[in-house]
A and B are shown apart, each in its own frame.
Chain A
Amino acid sequence: MSHSSSYKISLLESPKRLDFEEADMALASSMSFEIDGKGGDSGVGQGFWTVKEEALLGLVKGKEGHLCHVMAVGWIWAREFGSQAAIEPCTSDGLTVDGIASSKWTILEESESDWKSHAAAIAQSIQVIKRRLQWKKLMVRLDLLSAELNKPDLWNDPVHAGKISREHGSLMGKMKEVKAFEQELLEHIDMIKLAREEDDTELESESMKALLRMRRDSKDKELEALLAGENDSCSCYIEVQAGAGGTESMDWAAMVMQMYKTWAQRRGYGVTVVDEMPGEIAGIKRATIKVDGEYAFGYAKAEVGVHRLVRISPFDSGKRRHTSFAAVAVIPILGDGSSRVQINESDLRIERFRAGGAGGQHVNTTESAVRIVHIPTGVTATCQNERSQHQNKASAMAVLQSRLDQLEMARQAQMNSQHTQSLTEISWGNQIRTYVLHPYRLVKDLRTNYEVSDPDSVLEGDLDSFILSYLSASLDKGEGEQ
């Protein structure tokens, strides 16, 4: 094979099995054929799976640094590429997704049956999705992970290997989904063109319907892409701590906690109070709730920071205006599959919380709170809301585990994007949102400048718009910096 020539193999004609020695490189498209990995010199020693995944990436290197190009209509091209190249699928007449997005086709209402309008809207969505997934970073990372997976000594360290292969699988899944979505768009466009050439109105209307369906799906996918972080799908703990200022700020902390409880319940998440230290007169000094459900962490992480309230305090007989603060921390509850910190039983000190007197038969109390101290790190966890000590201990252990996991994530700085601060790390200067009840009424996010003039609805848990605007703003910003 000469370096600069391009050659075509029609899949319709070729057998479903390619030989490496013949083709001199690993090729595959996602579904239509498979490759037998007997070409030992092109990094296919890891077997069929690796080859297939790499081929999908469009980054399969041949013997002499060639990259292959797998196309939708079933033509295989080989060209000479530089060090980095991404696959660029296109329609039979060479239209690409980026091409469509930059073509300035007018985007009309969904109800208008215009394929160009649908296609342009979908292409735009795909660009948003790619931006949110941090596409370029994702590709580089995938490349890196694939190289790592190909190392023959990878499984000498099974924990590391497991981690690499999980991350690879997860990123690959996201990448494939977008690719498939792009492919689908181009196929429908081809279909519409074909239908028009052949005057097949039934096919045309079917393809049009498919495009409309894609257009609707693409909005959901945009939202999903906001929650593509490694731990976003996890359940989480939300912790609220009152700032300085006594009863007024403890009352504010309780209002913030109530806001999250209703928000979570409205989203259909399970909410349980794990730990709560009530204020002397009103409110809470601090509290921890567990929010159970898919993407709880992905959404809630947008709330980390200090929340500020301005109002006439009901606790001030002089009816003066007060400013109070409450800090919010969010801790992901990692799934069993991920690498969690190993806790040594001997590193723990378990103590009865608020126990006094002789105990045992002398005392009848429903208070069976325990505090668990992890001696090496000093990290503690308390639970008092369960009805037996055994269950309190189990809940506190779960909180401790997540706190230690979070600490470990913070330590591994490269996972920064996934790290949310713990309560102790949050500085009171780090204000993210202000809630003004007096002299005017406004809730304003200081990070995005998103604002709402109805504080009551926000405090009743209407938080999604704040969360989504923050998530999209932070991701869009992140991509721009690349």
Chain B
Amino acid sequence: MLKLRSSGLSCGVCANFHIPIPRCYMNSITTSSIDVKPRVPLYLRPPSFSASLSELTKWHKWAKNLASSVGSSFINLDNGPDSTLLRRELNWLLQDLIELQHRSVILSRLESGNNENPDVSVALRAPLEEMYCVWRQRIEKRRPFQYVVGCEHWRDLVLSVQEGVLIPRPETEVIIDLVEGVALNNAPELAQGFWADLGTGSGAIAIATARALATHAHGDACGRVIATDLSPVAVAVATSNVQRYGLQDVIEVRKGSWFEPLKDVQGKLAGVLSNPPYIPSGDISGLQAEVGQHEPILALDGGISGTNDLLHLIGGVASMLKPGGFFAFETNGEKQCKFLVEYIENEKPGSFRDMNIVSDFAGIQRFVMGFRR
């Protein structure tokens, strides 16, 4: 029998509730420290600041103008966000900033330009000076919106993210559809087994998978998930996300590279999932500023052809899975998908069945999946 270890990183969330200093924290994470403290996303901070409605309106106007000034220049530059998208992000920033109770009233006031009661005080989750600072970073430094608010909405989850952790992509949501629609549908008994999410980052795949297993497991034994990551920041952030969803008894976060921390479950896994780095090294310099200048290269760069880590995963997955076990990996697109399927057929003949390439919603062949024979 396998026992889940406690991660030893429970310090995070509460200790970090004291961040009232109006400053911007870009790149404030020191990756050398093992004991990384995850940042509390804006929407979870206490509403212990305030501003008058007129001050807030002034900031909102300023921020809106800054967003509008972008026009389509970022699109032309590197397929970045346009003003419409930035204005939508601004609305979401407001949603996260303003205390829930009066949010809808305040938001509609800001939208309609209603000037009544300018002195009324609005409770905020961060000081307005910080908002000036972070919105400037969003536009001028192209700091990803998800790092600005400290969270990403992904499937039905809201996950904490911060510099050093890859922001989960919408495409990756489909992996969970595959877990539910293909794996658990065809082989319901897999819902009771051990699953692994390799290179978990924020913990997105692991958390969504654990929740899927819980819905599909009938009655007694519910499956468990082991999430691994080499990055201490990722391990800390994933751990705090797991705790926030109350899944610490179901998901274990382990630090280490790919299969390395999984020796104890070799040949026993019901499923292996991963969104490994897959961008060819040559493409890194041309990436959209939000990605190339802000997200962790460790989670993006997949070597010369982009398949270094994918090949490593495919090399190990057969021996990690139990017979009938399921795997799904995200890739860079059609070329990598086809290459990997061909590679498996040539190098691992007879190891897998029902191999398939699955497209994302943009129609790009994105995932390789199959079952261990």
B84 contacts A278, C-beta separation under 8 Å: yes
Chain B residues closer than 8 Å to A319, beta-carbon distance: none
- Kindly state the separation between the CA atoms of A390 and B212 in the bound complex, as whole angstroms: 14
Given known A352-B362, A366-B88, contact A360–B81 (CB-CB < 8 A): no
Q: Determine if B108 and A261 form an interchain contact, defined as CB atoms under 8 angstroms apart.
A: yes
Min C-beta distance of B80 to chain A, whole Å: 8
How far does the alpha carbon of A359 sit from the alpha carbon of B279 in the complex, in Å? 11
Given A355-B361, A386-B153, A391-B153, A365 contacting B171 (CB threshold 8 A): no
Whether A366 lies near B104 (C-beta < 8 A) is no
CB distance from A429 to the nearest CB of B (A): 32
- Interface status of B14 (Cβ within 8 A of chain A): no
**Cβ contacts B279-306/A at 8 Å (1 or 0 each):** 1000100011011001100011000000
Determine the chain A residues whose CB is within 8 A of the CB of B277 once the complex forms. 361
Given the interface contacts A390-B155, A390-B156, does A363 sit within 8 Å of B79 by beta carbon?
Answer: yes
A318 part of interface (Cβ distance < 8 Å):
no
Q: Are A359 and B362 in contact (CB under 8 A)?
A: yes
Chain B positions within 8 Å of A385 at CB level = 88
Q: B223 interface residue, CB < 8 Å from A?
A: no
Residue of B85, B112, B155, B330 near A360 (CB, 8 A) is B330
Residue pair B88, A365 in contact (C-beta under 8 Å): no
A357–B171 Cα distance when bound, in Å, is 13
* Known interface pairs A364-B144, A365-B85, A366-B89; A388-B361 also in contact (CB < 8 Å): no
- Does B49 belong to the interface (CB within 8 Å)? no
Residues of chain A contacted by B275 (CB below 8 angstroms): 361
Of the candidates A358, A387, A388, the one whose C-beta lies within 8 Å of that of B333 is: A358
Asked if A406 is an interface residue, CB under 8 A from chain B, the answer is: no
Known A-B contacts A350-B361, A388-B155; A265 and B108 likewise in contact (beta carbons under 8 Å): yes
Point out the residues of chain A lying under 8 angstroms from B111, CB to CB. Answer: 258, 261
B363–A351 touching, CB < 8 Å: yes
Tell me whether B154 and A390 are in contact (CB under 8 A).
yes
- Residues from chain A with Cβ under 8 Å of B166 in the complex: 361
Q: How many residues of A contact B (CB 8 A)?
A: 32
Question: In the assembled complex, how far is the CB of residue B134 from the closest CB belonging to chain A, in whole angstroms?
Answer: 15
> Does residue B167 face the partner (Cβ distance < 8 Å to A)?
yes
Q: A258-B112, A356-B79, A363-B169 are in contact. Are A387 and B92 (CB under 8 A)?
A: yes
Residue from A265, A356, A358, A365 having most chain B Cβ neighbours under 10 A: A365
Whether B155 contacts A362 by the Cβ 8 Å rule is: no
Q: Does A262 contact B (CB under 8 A)?
A: yes
For A387, what are the chain B residues with a Cβ–Cβ distance below 8 Å? 92, 153
The residues of A that contact B283 with a CB separation of less than 8 Å are: 358, 362
27 CB-based A-B contacts, threshold 8 Å: A261-B111, A265-B108, A352-B360, A355-B362, A356-B79, A357-B79, A358-B332, A359-B171, A359-B364, A359-B366, A360-B360, A361-B332, A362-B283, A362-B288, A363-B288, A364-B144, A364-B295, A365-B85, A366-B85, A366-B92, A388-B153, A388-B154, A388-B170, A388-B173, A390-B155, A391-B153, A391-B156
Residues of chain B whose beta carbon lies under 8 Å from any beta carbon of chain A: 79, 81, 84-85, 88-89, 92, 104, 108, 111-112, 144-146, 152-157, 166-167, 169-171, 173, 275, 277-279, 283, 287-288, 290-291, 294-295, 299-300, 330-333, 360-364, 366
Instruction: Show the binding face of A for B, using Cβ within 8 Å.
Output: 258, 261-262, 265, 278, 350-352, 355-368, 370, 384-391, 460
The 10 closest A-B pairs by CB, nearest first: A387-B153, A389-B170, A355-B362, A352-B362, A388-B153, A352-B361, A390-B155, A368-B170, A364-B290, A364-B291
Q: Given A360-B169, A388-B156, 5 other A-B contacts at CB below 8 A?
A: A265-B108, A352-B361, A359-B169, A364-B288, A366-B92
